Chains A and B, each alone.
Chain A
């Protein structure tokens, strides 16, 4: 009785949200309706393929019919993915980590300069960072093959100086890491730039006012302020780099293949490789998810970007 009276009172009383709901019940559905297109998109193009891929990863092969499978719960595919292809997993994570490190080393000074030092050149530099996106990254990687070719300027100079142990740059792991670093650099630059650019200059000035020298100010004030950008940048570089196979395929050798190459070859080159390829994809996904989880837990901040 009292509860009902209370509700009635509130309803008649004023423009509180529940009252609004009662007057126009359609309102409650608005957020769901807004979520619907994105949700459907995710369902059809992410959840369904993912579930489909998962069922494939558990299939077994018809005995005597290579290339044909039946529904099964065959965990052996995962075992094979982990044992047979451990070197490629290791390489993927190592190359991605190296590329992330080098991208960070290159990107931070660049983003810092763009945010604080270059003044009116800022837009030009931003365009320079983004411009490579106007060409396909496969084309750009093929172009690197040309630049680094044995008869090309880089390799012949290094060879003349006897600085190239193997005699060539392409088909080495260094070329793969360099390619990854190059291809994902903008993903590191832009988030760091965004967080530095937003930083409050007065806080940095305060560092100087408190008699900190330039380095201490940078270490205790600027760097922590850019942490969200660094976190986002490292994630945006590491995750796609670990799954990349184009750089290893175009710039690497047969003994520098990454997991992406194995997945490609199991899907497209090996008769009956579908289940193992699917298992490899899931294992890679799980590995990256776990690493990212630990990383974000350890270094994460509330606000990404």
Chain B
């Protein structure tokens, strides 16, 4: 028998094409299989519920990064969270990023709250599908879930030279020691927001909200780690440490009572800003930066953010790369760009949230010395301690499930 003729080695590029072509053949065939009558059973078999991740043992398989050939990055973020020019309808810092790097960035404000966004994309992530984002932004506790469930990719600090500008206090967080998977986007406080002139009085405590002139004109956040936490603080609970179901329920009862008495009109996600704008609500439990955006948008400087005397909450939102993203390097380039103190200062001046970047205060002082002194952007450790601004303690998955179910019940779900 003559020896089989060996094929000449393929040019790597051609090899890639051949592989791609073969892959597409396979998928076409399997698609036909699905379409066939017997395919119904096959689909069901393929849609078995995903297994929980084996703790730490599983080798994480990352998708091939195509950042070089596809210079794009898709960023999903919360509303009113990036400097925006009303006149040109563009994001100035994002435009500058595109000019500087040549990477086309698309920005969408599609995160209304942590739960609804996470639960929308989690099944796709677990099934290994693209979710239309290369960066998403989650609050600490949800970032914790995303990281433990292995739904995001590790970051390479070495390719982000600006990353060490992260504030020291945020470098070693419990959910991501050493910041291997996430970088803070912004931090913020939850407190009380209200229109000082429309109300004609100061609000200092939570109890100042429950008065006749505010009946039916109060909205509160659907994030229980803010709304319930604020009530717990007003009841003298230290939200950072040991507390349990009893304390949580006691605070929830207050919210329920104020709803049934007609003070609280609605529990809302990020869309509470619309109610403040339209005048349906005159006050509420809100996030610090939003009130400053509201000032700019309505031209009404009487919108006031205040931390109640019993204390407020402190949280951070974190940028991460979804496990199925194929543009990790572009995503890291974007994160790195926003950790440039000058850029961070520009963002901070617009969003008015706590800026996580060292050096940004000095940069902002050059253009707006007054704003650079704002405790809502650059709070001193003293300010935080004096006002009893605390982070909600981490919940176990069981507690998380129990309390969120309890909270959904309050929301009528």
Interface residue ranges, A against B (CB under 8 Å)? 40, 43-44, 47-48, 51-52, 55-56, 59, 62, 64-71, 88, 145-146, 149-151, 166-168, 170-171, 253-257, 261-262, 264-273
Contact = CB atoms under 8 A, between A and B. Distances in A.
A152 to B, nearest CB: 8
A139 to B, nearest CB: 14
Contacts, number: 114
A270 B405 contact: yes
A270 B411 CA distance: 12
10 contacts: A52-B43, A52-B47, A71-B49, A145-B278, A149-B279, A150-B278, A151-B279, A254-B266, A261-B412, A268-B120
B116 interface: yes
B122 interface: yes
Chain A CB within 10 Å — which of B43, B149, B280 has the most?
B280
Nearest to A52: B47
A88 B412 CA distance: 8
B412 A254 contact: yes
Contact of A254 (B215, B404, B411): B411
Interface in B103-123: 113, 115-116, 119-120, 122
Interface string B235-264: 000000000000000000000000100100
Contacts of A150: 217, 278-280
Contacts of A253: 265-266, 412
A71 B48 contact: yes
Interface stretch (B173-181, B297-305, B384-392, B393-401): B393-401
A71 B50 CA distance: 10
A255 B259 contact: yes
Contacts of A145: 278
Nearest to B282: A150
Given A48-B44, A166-B262, A64 B398 contact: yes
B216 A166 contact: yes
8 tightest CB-CB pairs across the interface, nearest first?
A265-B413, A257-B412, A254-B412, A65-B52, A66-B401, A68-B52, A151-B279, A268-B116
Contact of B40 (A47, A68, A267): A47
Contacts of A167: 215-216
Contacts of A52: 43-44, 47
A150 B113 CA distance: 26
Contacts of A166: 216, 262
B259 A269 contact: no
A271 B412 contact: no
B89 to A, nearest CB: 19
A271 B266 contact: no
Contacts of A88: 412-413
Contacts of B266: 171, 253-254
A172 to B, nearest CB: 10
A270 B404 contact: yes
Interface in B39-59: 40, 43-44, 47-52
B158 interface: no
A265 B222 CA distance: 12
Contact of A70 (B37, B49, B216): B49
B405 A65 contact: no
A150 B267 CA distance: 17
Nearest to A151: B279
B410 interface: yes
A145 B268 CA distance: 15
Nearest to B42: A48
Given A146-B278, A261-B413, A265-B411, A68 B51 contact: yes
A44 B265 CA distance: 43
Contact of B397 (A170, A270, A271): A271
Given A68-B50, A70-B49, A268-B120, 18 more contacts: A44-B34, A88-B412, A150-B279, A151-B278, A166-B262, A171-B265, A254-B267, A254-B411, A254-B412, A256-B412, A261-B412, A266-B408, A268-B116, A269-B115, A269-B116, A271-B115, A271-B397, A271-B400
B400 A66 contact: yes
Nearest to A62: B52
B44 A269 contact: no
Chain A CB within 10 Å — which of B215, B262, B397 has the most?
B397
Nearest to B410: A254
A149 B265 CA distance: 13
Contacts of A146: 278
A70 B52 CA distance: 10
Nearest to B37: A43
A167 B400 CA distance: 36
Contacts of B149: 67
A278 to B, nearest CB: 12
B35 interface: yes
Given A47-B40, A65-B52, A167-B215, A271 B267 contact: no
B252 to A, nearest CB: 13
Nearest to B274: A145
Interface string B111-152: 001011001101000000000000000000000010001000
A44 B33 CA distance: 12
B44 A257 contact: no
A254 B269 CA distance: 13
Nearest to B34: A44
Contacts of A171: 216, 265-266, 280
A269 B43 contact: no
A254 B48 contact: no
A59 B49 contact: yes
A271 B401 contact: yes
B118 to A, nearest CB: 9
Contact of A64 (B217, B279, B397): B397
B78 to A, nearest CB: 16
Contacts of B40: 43, 47-48, 51
A261 B413 CA distance: 7
A293 to B, nearest CB: 26
B57 to A, nearest CB: 15
A146 B52 CA distance: 45
